Structures are given as structure tokens and as C-alpha cells.
Structure 1
Amino acid sequence: MPGKPLGCCCSEFLLCLFCRRCHFSSVGRVEGPAMVLKIFFPKCCNTADSGLLVGRWVPGQDSAVVLAVIHYPFIPGQVKKYLSQIRDQTQVDLTVLGSWSKPKDGQEGMDSFLKDLSTIFPHSRWLQLSRESGKRAFTCRVVQNNGTPPADQEGDEKVIFIHYDQRKVMLSQLHPIQEKSSEKGSSELRVVFQTVAQSQPLFFLDRYDEGPLKLTHWQSEGREASIIVELLKQASVPLCVVLTWLVSVWQWLCSFRCLHTWPVQFISSKLSTCVQSGYRTDHFQTVFSTKRATTHIEFMRKANIFVSFLLDVALGLLLISWLYRENRISQLANTLVPVADHVAKELQELLEWLMGAPAGLKMNRALDEVLGRFFLYHIHLWISYIRLMSPFIEMILWYVGLSACLGLTFALSVLSDIVALLTFHIYCFYVYGARLYCLKIYGLSSLWRLFRGKKWNVLRQRVDSCSYDLDQLFIGTLLFTILLFLLPTTALYYLVFTLLRLVVVMFQGLIHLSVDFINSFPLFAMGLRVCRPYRLAEGVKFRVLSEEPGAPLHLMMEINPLKFSSVLQGYRTPTYSCYPRDSWAALCKKLFVGELIYPWRQKSTKTD
């Protein structure tokens, strides 16, 4: 029944169709091995007037791709000259495949005239396609270059017409992408897509143009164009030159030797704002480059980066409009200092609680007092620093808010750096507690090996046997006992400050995830998938258009769009991530032994 779907390209039908292993009758029944001639015919030519079929024979396959129909009147010499010019432009072996006949009043002798042209355009086979009035399907007769039908041609049922939308096939990109693959190693379907895409200059000439030839193809009703788009293309070249120069000046300023000294380089690598600035500089250099994108991957990368930057700036401007209305900067500055004082007060109460008997635990009194007073001194220093900076906080926030004009990602990066500066005392507490705890853990592990007559071989990186004298065992026992009884007090401080540090890291991680999402999300590719799903093709599917007895089978080729998950995975812009480099097991091991963790370290996520 017409319109019945035949499934996707992995079904048994398509395996037989494109591998030419079986022969299909008019009702779609597999009858056995046979050579099947497949003709890819554009549906825009179904109603075209009589003329010549221009296209290409697929090399190594029993298939032909029809691209356009040349109408009478024409001169064969002009046709050959025009096709030679198109071949030089497209590097596609275009030729005259045969004739196309459609009954029309006043053109009764056109069929015989078109059949005689097979001697002027010699080829191994000549296709004679004809369509009768009132019928949906049309017939095909394959003639050898000597004027006789092929020896194995017993009827029209060995020919399968595959109708396709020429515009969608030309604009679509079949995945997986094979940019550098040769046609010999490509599938037949991929060669068809490449042939239509590379033949774009053939579609510039339509029947309304003043020229020696009149053609029918997907742009026969006039080429799609926009004067605004053309003006933007012309204006983008000098604009890109200016922007590229500005980016080069910025890179020259950043290349000064004083900015590459160890302290400056170390601090800039830890500041999220500096990292985001370098990241956006690379993006600007890619987008504003005057070099034309030659591959699909380069074009999509440029488009995704450009759209992501526009979205970033738009969100930043919205943030600026919200911040500078109703005096919200002053309100934020007046709130920030009391919040910092409240956090410092809570930390002071927490330390006083740890210096007593926390949760009924009996701690080492002397060590508890030393650690508590040491950390309380840091809190007093921090409160003094906040009091000193309080008159300038509103002015700092005022200028920091202007950074949002460069994009929301810059504002979020600045916010991450502000959080890191405001919680620097918590980071110091964590480092002190982690180093002290780690020292005791490694000391206990070394002394435990001493009791068992073992030692760590640094050269061979293994544990070897060793004999110790009585004095060494006595001193080791004494140190082991001291470290063991001091460990609960140190571990409690380390646990509390590690939890506080993890809270800050989680908040910074959410900010980094937001920045990473804006930078890497392929918004342009997702927009194509929603608005024009045929642009990103995962495969094709077929449905029956006509299956009349004694006539070839007519199929309609439709494009299967790429899945959203595949679009996100394939077109995601390479960027950094705030995830830790280690696995969760390695992270837990580091926390247990007291090694410092830096979850904000950059992680390269570049993919080929």
C-alpha cells in the first residue's frame, strides 16, 4: 500500500537494497539475487518538462543520481561546455544520464529527438524515463550505447526509483562525519549525499536566468537569497579584520615577560577570571578569523562559539540591568559585611566548642588549647581585614558588576574569585589541619612498619625487611604512642575544617559548572536540530510511494535526524571542567590520608 514505511537503513530491506543482494518485485517481495539499478530522482523534477537528465553514475555501484533536467531548446555543444565548467568547479563527474519525457501538447516528436541524443552523449548506459499524464509513477528503459537494451534486462521491475528532497539532502550532514574519506571507502548513501552537496554550483542557474540553458532543480522557482544576509557577509570581513587585530593586541600585552614570572603565573592560574579571559581569547581568535571554514566540524565549531558568546553577553547585560537598578549594588555591599562578620562569629563559636569537650569526647587538653588559640588568632586577623576593606566594598562591587558586559561567565568567574577570597581563612584552616593530620598518619604508618621489622625502600618503591636495635625500637615505641594519643584531637580539627572546605568547594563547583555549561553547550547545533532537523542526519528511512504492476518500485527517502544526546556529545565545544581529575575512590583515599585536594584545577576535555 502506498505510504507504507519500510523502516530505517539497518533493516533487511535496505541491506538488500544497497548491497544489491536481492531482487524486488512490484509488491516488494524478495525473489533472489539480481542486479538492481537504483535511480535517485529529485522530487522537484517529477513535474518537469521533457529534457535531458543531468547527474552522475555512482562509481563502483549500480546507481545513478539525477541532479537536474535540461529543457529544450538547447544545443548539445553548449550542454557539453556547461557541464565541463561545472565539473571544473565541483570536481564531480557530471554527465548526461539520459532523457526525460513528459507528454505535452505541441511536443509530439520530442521523445524521438531525445532518444537520438544518446549518440551525441555517449555513455555505457542511456536512461529513458517517461511519465504519462494522470499517473503517479513513471517507467524507465535502460539502453546500451549501441542502442540495444542490456542482455540481462528483462523488465522494468529491476529498476528502483528513490525520490529525495534535493534541498534537504544538499544541506544535511550525514553522521558519522567522514571529512577525509575517499569515495572508494564511502558507502553508496554517503556518496549520494556528497554528490548533491558538491553540485551546489549547478543549482545557481535556473530557468528564469538569461543563459543558454534552462534547467529544473530545487531552485527552479528562483534562488533563495536575502539582501540583508549578503550585506552582512560583505560587512563581516572588515569587522573580523578589526576584531582579529584587537585580539592580537591583547595577546601581545599578555605576552610580556613580567606576566610570566612564577608568582604572577601561579596566581593567574588559580583565578577563575584569568582562566575565563584566556579561554575567551582563544574563542575570539577562532571566531573572528578571516579564514573560511572548510569542513563541517570547523563551521559548526565557529557557529556554536559565536552563538554561545552572544547568549553569554545577553545574559550579562540582563544581569547589569538588574544590578544597577533600585540601588542593588549598595544593598549587596551593606549585606556582605554583616554576612562576613556572622560567618567569622560562627567559626569562633565552633572553635570554642572544639576547645571544650565536643560531643563528650575527651581530647588532649594541651594540644587542643594550642590549636584553638592558633585558629582564633587567624579569625581575628580576618575580621580586622574585613573591617579595613568595608569602606571600599561598594566601589569594588560597582566596578566588578561592569565585568558582566563581557558576558555572564565573566561575572560568575569574578563571583567565584570573590568567594575564594572571602573564605580564604577557611582554606588556611583546612591546609593547616590537613598537613598536621597527614604528618601524623605517615608517621604512624612508618612506626607501624618498624614494629614489624619492615621499612620503606625509597629506591625500589617497596617494603623490605630490616633489623632494628633496642634503642631504635624504644624510641619508635615512644613516638608511636605520642602520635597515636594525639591523633584524635588532630583528626577532629581536620574533619571539621575539611567539611567546611567542602561546602565552599561545592558552591564554587556549581559556579564553575554554570560557566562550563554556557561555554560548551552547542546552542547553534541544538537550534538546527529543533528548527531544521534534516541538517544533522543520522541515517535515512524509506516509504513506498507507488507499487504498480509492471512498473518500477518508487520509494521516498526521508532523513532521520540526529538524536539530541548525539548532538550534545558530538558538537560540544571543548572547554575546561571543574570536576576533579581523580576518581571518587582516589578522592576518598586522599581525604582519609590527609592529602590536599584541589577540585578547581583545570581539566582538559578536548576531543578530536
Structure 2
Amino acid sequence: MVLKVFFPSCCSSAESGILVGRWISEQRSAVILAVVHFPFIPAQVKQYLSQVQQVTKVSVSVVGSWSNSKQEREESLSEFLEDLGTIFSHEPWIQISKEGDSKFWSCSTLQRHSDNPKKEEIILVYYDQRKVMLSHLHPPLDTSSSSDPEEEEASKLSAIFGTVARSKMLFMTDRYDDGPIKLTHWQSDGVEASIIVELMKQASGPGCSVSMAAEGLSLVFPWCFCRVLNFWPLSFLWSKLSTCEQLGHRLQHLQVISSNKKAQNQTQLMRKANIFVSLLVDVALGILLMSWLYRKNRIGHLADTLIPAADHVAEGLQDLLQWLMGAPAGLKMNRALDQVLGRFFLYHIHLWISYIHLMSPFIEMILWYVGLSACLGLTVALCILSDIIALLTFHIYCFYVYGARLYCLKIYGLSSLWRLFRGKKWNVLRQRVDSCSYDLDQLFIGTLLFTILLFLLPTTALYYLVFTLLRLLVVVVQGLIHLLVDLIDSLPLYSIILRLCRSYRLAAGVKFRVLEQQEGKPLRLLMQINPLSYGSVVQMYRLPTYSCYPKDSWTSLCKKLFLGELIYPWKHKGEKQD
């Protein structure tokens, strides 16, 4: 039989006494938590340990004796420590003592109540109690590929980590406190390593630093929004403008971090901390952007360059339409339809430029107030930029919709007439193609319409192709902006900083290093914590975002573009497209 004893390295210099810990019978392991040194009364020790068990729900008991021969050299002390096994009656009784001038400790077991005592092979594992206490052991991310031995080993480690983590009350008392029981554990190393400080940090949570005004806003805003946004125009704008979506997303974050509800587990605590740090960094970057915008009259320079930029884009579109109304790339177009479509789009450009020039006196004032919104966060400013791009390119969107609808109408008309030639028709009720017989008049009209649509298709397809490419260019720019917003919203900054500064707090497992291995002596190992990789940290603690994810494959997207179906970039995950 192999007996594993997990001994805290911080207790190596403790005075002689008894070992307090938990015996895990199914693993044949003993997790030492503290050393109770002399003088003590056994009855008071039992009473104190029973109180600890009631609070922590951990079966803490006296599992052995501890003898430091550097401090106590009398032979009577070792005999007295052995006699303590009869008082506390733990089987097996673990004895750890100093081995002369060696820097390691000898470990043996004593079985008083066994008629046939067996010699057990002992493995003495040293561990850093502070790191194990504060670390959170994460399960494997890919549980489908993990084998049974790995899962069993993970459960054993979780039992050891959980024993140390739940024994918080035991670490509230140390050898410097005035009381009948004096303990030595990792808190005794110094004030900076105090578990009380760490527990206060965890109990307080990052949300306690949020002001009461933020909490009041988080309570008042949802009620106001629910009332106001029930009206149709506001509800439509709220669902379509990315700025409104981002404000609602940040409002939910504000509610989470200002909530008085205590985190139930480590995952909720980390999520709250990540949200707080993400919001703090977002606001800090927004304030830096706002300070940069209001220096050296950059708002005025931006307003002055906006109108010439809009005129330049309009001139480019007019030249493009003039090129399409001629013979683009030597293609022969339907001149009548080409002239009608070209003049139709030119008129829209004229209306748009007139509207921009009408708004030009107010653009600087609008940009000045829009710049103030950067104090709400860099993501809000980026979403406002995305909405401004959408408003400034609204005429391109209109061109895309007109061209797509006209192209889609001709494609579906040609497909329907093609079924007419083959003696088929589309059954609307059964959603399938059925056979059908047509008379001569129907075939004649169908042939005439098919010929007209087929010869008009190249002209329509060219306009649709050009405006679709322009629309895709705008969508790509907006997509890059939203990718940056998603990165700021979803990146778990607190977890990454914690992984960088205190890697032991996020544990993926442990590794054992052999300290000493001699025949006839216990195997001595050092348990070290393996931190999570940065990729695993991001994958595990990534914050959810409101933005859309591509629900269509590239094949489906290309099919929609070929058939002329509209593609709305603002469709979010879970919504249905018309």
C-alpha cells in the first residue's frame, strides 16, 4: 500500500507539536493543513476542530505528530508525541521528524490498533499552501477526448485543492494570537501573505468600487427603457443602431458589477471581475480619445474635411454611373434601360448631396456633441463611428437595395418561365415543383416575357454587381469596427492580467519534481502548479457579446448574392432573416 502525505512547506520551521489535516481514505492520502505546537490541551484541540468541521464541512482531525529535533532534543518528547496517538486515536498515526542535518524530513506511520501492521510505502509531497489555497483548479476543456485515468487524477487533485480552499476558518488563527491553541500555517509567514487580506479581496469583489450613482442608474435605466422603447420608431432604431445596442450591452454589464448579490462560485467572481476591468479599460480609452479630439480644434478640422470628402465620393459615383450609362468595358447594354437606371441613381446622388450641404452648418456642432459620448467608452465611440458611416453611405445602401430587388425579380421570373417551358410549375401549398399542362397562349406569352427578361438581364446584373461591390466594401469597414468592439467587449482582461502576474491562481493541473529518492526512505516530491495557457484563459473566461456571428456558410452567402437576396449585416444571432 502507498500512503501519500501532502505536507505544507511553510510548516518546515514550526515548533514540535501535532499535525492537523484531513484524511482521504479512498485515496490513502493525508493533507496536512497546520501544526498545533506546545503547549496545548487535547480537549481544547478537539473542541476547536469540531467547530471548524461544523463551519467548513471538512473533516479536520489530528492525523499525526511533528518533531523538530533542532528545537527539542529530549528523547522524552518523541515518546510523548507517540503517546498522543492514543489520545486522538487516528489510524494510521503519521510521524514526521527531522533527520539530523538533512534538509528533508523523515516520515513514518504507527498502527496501534492493527493486529497485523503492514509496512507502507510513504510518499511525502511538499506543497505551497498559499498558492494551493488561492488557486482555482480548472477541469480539462476537452472532456470528450479525456480518458478515465485523467478524469480520476483530476478528481483526486480537486479533493486536495478543495480541502485546502475550504479550510479558511482554520487559517484565521496563528501562533501569534493570544489563545489556548497556537497554529502554524502559511499565514504565519508574514503579514503580506495573510489569508484574511486575500479573503477580503475576494469577498468584496470588484463591484464594490463602483459608486452608488452607478448602481442607481442601473436600477432606473431599465425601467425607463422598457417604458420608452415600446413605441415603434424608438424600438426600431434601438434594434438597428449599433450605438444603442452597445449602450444596452454596457448597461447590462453595469447592472452585473453593481449588484449586491454575492458570487456563488469562482466562475461568477471571475466574470464580474472581467466585466469590471473591461468597462474600466473601455472608459479610460474613451477618455483618452475624447481628450485627443478636443485638442488643437481637431473637431473643427474633421468637420471641414467631411463635406469635401462627401463631394469627392459623390463625384466618384457620378463618374461611375456615367461610365455605366455608356459602353462599360465594351459591353453592349440595353440603352433604354441603361439610361433609365443611370438617371434614376444620379437623381438620388443629387438628393443626397443636397441633404449633406443642407446639414453642413450643423455638422461641427453635431460632431462636438458626438465626441462627448467617448466618455462612455471607446466601444461606444466606435459604434457611433459605424453608425455615421452607415448614414453617410445610405445612398449606396439604397442603390444596392434597388439593384438587388430588380435583379432578384428578373432571376425569379426567368426561373419561373423556364419551368413553364418544361411543363412544370411551383406548388405554393406543398412547396414543391409539380407537372402542369399549358395551352398555346400561355406558352406564347411565356416565351415573349422570357425573351424580354433574358435580354434585359445583363444591364440589370451589371448595375447589381457594381452596387453590391460598393455595399460589400462598406460592410467590410463596418465589420472591422465591430470586430474591434467585440474584442474589447469579450476579452477577459482581468483573467489575462491574473495569469500574467499570479499564474498560480488559474491552475490547469500540477506537476511533481523529485527532491530526494533513496532506498529505504520515503520518496520526497515537490508539487508545483501548472498554470492555464493564455489560449485556455481566453476560451474559458471570454465574455459574451451582443454582436452577430455568421450564421450562413460561404456557400449559402454566395448563393444569396447570386440570387439577389438582401443580406442585412445587422441581423444578430438568434434572429431570423426575412
Instruction: Spell out the pairing of 1:95-106 with structure 2 (5 A cutoff).
Output: 95-105=61-71
Paired residue for 1:467?
437
Q: Percent identity?
A: 65
2-side partners of 1:286 and 1:150: how far apart? 61
Match of 2:176 among 196, 208, 214: 208
Give the aligned residue type for 2:48. Answer: Y
Do the aligned partners of 1:580 and 1:599 also contact (CA within 8 Å) in 2? no
Q: 1:364 to 1:302 in 2, by over 3 A?
A: same
Match status 1:126 vs 2:126: no
| Cα contact 1:580–1:600 (8 A) shared by 2 | no
2:155 corresponds, among 183, 187, 207, to 187
Task: Indicate the RMSD between aligned Cα atoms, in angstroms.
Answer: 2.3
Contact 2:207–2:276 at 8 Å: present in 1 too? no
1:35-434 mapped onto 2 (5 Å cutoff) = 35-105=1-71, 108=74, 109-146=76-113, 151-153=117-119, 158-176=121-139, 187-224=155-192, 233=204, 237=208, 241-256=212-227, 258-434=228-404
1:320-344 per-position Cα deviation (integer Å, ceiling 9, x unaligned): 1110000000000000011011111
> C-alpha deviations, 1:18-47, integer Å up to 9, x for none?
xxxxxxxxxxxxxxxxx2111111111222
Q: 1:474 to 1:549 in 2, by over 3 A?
A: same
- Counterpart AA for 2:162: Q
Shift of the 237–319 alpha-carbon distance from structure 1 to 2, 3 Å rule, reads closer
CA distance in 2, matches of 1:170, 1:233: 18
Alpha carbons of 1:150 and 1:340: their partners in 2 closer, same or farther (altered >3 Å)? Answer: farther
For the Cα contact (< 8 Å) 2:205–2:269, is it kept in 1?
no
Answer whether contact 2:245 2:546 (CA < 8 A) is retained.
Answer: no
Distance 1:575 1:91, change over 3 A: same
Where does residue 422 of structure 2 map in the other structure?
A: 452
Unaligned 5+ runs, structure 1: 1-34
Shift of 1:578: 4.3
Normalising by structure 2, report the TM-score. 0.93
Query: Quick one: structure 1 residues 285 and 362, their matched pair in 2 at CA, closer, same or farther if it must change by over 3 Å?
Result: same
Residues 358-404 of structure 1: per-residue CA shift (max 9 Å, x gap)? 11110001111111111111111101100110000000000000000
Q: How far has the Cα of 1:210 moved from its partner?
A: 1.4
Q: Offset at 1:245?
A: 2.2
Distance apart, 1:230 and its partner CA: 6.6
Amino acid at match of 1:85: Q
Partner residue, 2:410 = 440
Inter-partner Cα distance in structure 1 for 2:316 and 2:209: 58
Cα offset, 1:293, TM superposition:
1.0
1:354 alignment partner AA = L
Find the aligned partners of 2:199 and 2:290 in 1 and give their Cα distance.
31
CA 1:394–1:112 in 2, change beyond 3 Å: closer, same or farther?
Answer: same
More contact order relative to length (CA 8 Å, sep ≥ 6):
1
- After superposition, where does 1:583-598 map in structure 2 within 5 Å? 583-598=553-568
| Structure 2 CA distance for aligned equivalents of residues 128 and 230 of structure 1 | 35
2:458 alignment partner in structure 1: 488
Alignment size in residue pairs: 562
* Aligned AA (1:472): Q
Matched to 1:206, the amino acid is D
CA spacing shift, 1:202–1:185, aligned 2, 3 Å: same
Check whether the contact 2:426–2:432 (CA below 8 A) recurs between aligned residues: yes
Give the whole-Å Cα distance in 2 for the aligned partners of 1:233 and 1:138: 40
2:26 match: secondary structure? coil
Q: Deviation per CA, 1:463-492, whole angstroms, max 9, x where unpaired?
A: 121111111111111111111000000000
Q: 1:116 to 1:228 in 2, by over 3 A?
A: closer
- C-alpha distance in structure 1 between counterparts of 2:198 and 2:96, whole Å: 41
**Distance in 1 (alpha carbons) for counterparts of 2:229 and 2:264:** 36
Q: Is the 8 A contact 2:111 2:117 kept in 1?
A: no
Give the conservation status (yes or no) of the 8 Å contact 2:238–2:245: yes
Cα pair 2:278 2:491 within 8 Å, conserved: yes
User: Which segments of structure 1 move beyond 4 Å, counting only runs of 4 or more?
Assistant: 183-186, 225-242
Q: Please give the alpha-carbon distance, in whole angstroms, between the structure 2 residues aligned to 1:595 and 1:97.
A: 74
CA distance in structure 1 between the partners assigned to 2:152 and 2:172 by the alignment? 28
| Superimposed CA distance per residue, residues 187-225 of structure 1 (whole angstroms, 9 cap, x where no aligned partner) | 111100111111122112111111211111111133435
Task: Name the aligned partner's letter for residue 83 of structure 2.
Answer: D
Stretch deviating more after TM superposition (104-113 or 125-134) = 104-113
Question: How has the CA–CA distance of structure 1 residues 236 and 477 changed in structure 2, closer, same or farther, with 3 Å as cutoff?
Answer: closer
Report deviation, 1:550.
Answer: 1.6
Is the CA contact 1:68–1:217 (under 8 Å) kept in the aligned structure 2? yes
Alignment check: 8 A CA contact 1:522 1:568 kept: yes
Alpha-carbon spacing, 1:213–1:361, altered in 2? closer, same or farther (3 Å):
same
Query: CA separation in 2, counterparts of 1:129 and 1:229?
Result: 31
CA displacement at 1:185 relative to structure 2 = 11
Give per-residue Cα distances to partners, 1:274-296, cap 9 Å, x unaligned: 00011011101111111111211
